[in-house]
Amino acid sequence: GQNIDQPTEMTATEGAIVQINCTYQTSGFNGLFWYQQHAGEAPTFLSYNVLDGLEEKGRFSSFLSRSKGYSYLLLKELQMKDSASYLCAVREDRRAGYALNFGKGTSLLVTP
């Protein structure tokens, strides 16, 4: 089994930068994912890290440190539409395919 921890809620201002942290404990790590989920909607894929380091994709970046069991999602130039829940998920060796274990999500509120 594993634990995935991320803050429950965060608030940030439009145009600012916000960092959402995620820590995990797993017996066989095989990749870390970030998904975005707007209220009442399906999750959508944001990023995937399997090696240490930073992956940048437009305004969003994701970082992984496997030795520390730590990842963060960085959102730059925040927009009101970025208000959503951000889900950290881990892929384990014991599961087939890309079956994921998700954290409870971080609810981000972007204010004017």
Partner 1 sequence: GAGVSQSPSNKVTEKGKDVELRCDPISGHTALYWYRQRLGQGLEFLIYFQGNSAPDKSGLPSDRFSAERTGESVSTLTIQRTQQEDSAVYLCASSLALHPEQFFGPGTRLTVL
Catalog residues that contact partner 1 under the rule CB under 8 A.
Answer: 4, 31, 33, 41-45, 48, 87, 89, 94-105
Residue 59 or 104 having the CB closest to partner 1: 104
As a residue count, the chain comes to 112
Residue 74 or 100 having the CB closest to partner 1: 100
Residue 26 Cβ vs partner 1, minimum distance, rounded to whole Å: 13
- In order of 80, 94, 112, the CA distances from 63 in angstroms are 23, 23, 27
Residue 53 or 97 having the CB closest to partner 1: 97
In which element (H, E) is residue 85 found?
Answer: strand 84-92
**CA neighbor of 91 nearest in space, from 7, 38, 24:** 24
Residue 102 Cβ vs partner 1, minimum distance, rounded to whole Å: 4
